[in-house]
Structures are given as structure tokens and as C-alpha cells.
Amino acid sequence: SSELTQDPAVSVALGQTVRITCQGDILSKYYATWYQQKPGQAPLLVLYGDNTRPSGIPDRFSGSTSGNTGSLTIIGAQAEDEADYYCNSRDTSDHHLLFGGGTKLTVL
């Protein structure tokens, strides 16, 4: 099976822009999906497909893919964006799912 690699931790100053990346060979075939998880809560879908946001997700969240790297960008990070972010994709075994190890985002 494949792997998805994320930086363990990233920080951003309030109101600034931050990019969280997810690297894996499978991302050259499938889009990354992104989830936000705050302490004690279930994950929340924030991006999927070719940069699609579910209803209720602010437009400061956007996604992109380049080669085997998927990215989640937050333009104008807010205090409430502080959370763990996980990328996800289908695996080479087509109906299996993979998660990255997660990135802890700190908003300073």
C-alpha cells in the first residue's frame, strides 16, 4: 500500500497564510481529501476533489495538487482554525483508504 506524509506541526501568525502539505505517490492518481479535527471532536471534512469545499466551510480554505503533493492553504488564518489537519486518499487497493499522519496547526 501507499503512504501519505505530512509535516507533524506548522504554525502561522493570526491573519497570515499557511500551507499544509501531503505527499504521496497515490496523489498523482487521486485528489487529496482534507479533514480538520479539534480536540475532543470528530473530524470535519473541509476539502475534497478538485478544491471543493462542503457547505459551511469558509472560503479561506482552498486546495491544490502538484505532482504527488496535495496542499491545503488557509488565507488569513483565524484562531478557530487551530486544529489537527489530516489528508486522505484512496489507496492503490482501490477501495482502501489512507490517512496522512496529521499536521498540528498552531495559530500564533
Are the beta carbons of 98 and 3 closer than 8 angstroms? yes
* Between 15 and 49, CB nearer to another protein: 49
Beta bridge partners, 36, equal: 44, 85
Distance, in Å, from the CA atom of 57 to the CA atom of 55, rounded to the nearest integer, reads: 6
* Between 1 and 59, CB nearer to another protein: 1
Task: State the CB neighbour count (10 A cutoff) for residue 52.
Answer: 12
71 makes contact with another protein (CB under 8 A)? no
* Between 64 and 75, CB nearer to another protein: 64
Q: Residues 10, 45, 57, 75: which binds another protein (CB under 8 A)?
A: 45
User: Cα angle vertex 58, ends 56, 59, to 5°?
Assistant: 125
38 makes contact with another protein (CB under 8 A)? no
Q: Residues 81, 102, 105, 107: which binds another protein (CB under 8 A)?
A: 102
Distance, in Å, from the CA atom of 61 to the CA atom of 59, rounded to the nearest integer, reads: 5
Residues in touch with another protein (CB under 8 A) = 1, 33, 35, 37, 41-45, 48, 54, 86, 88, 90, 93, 95-102
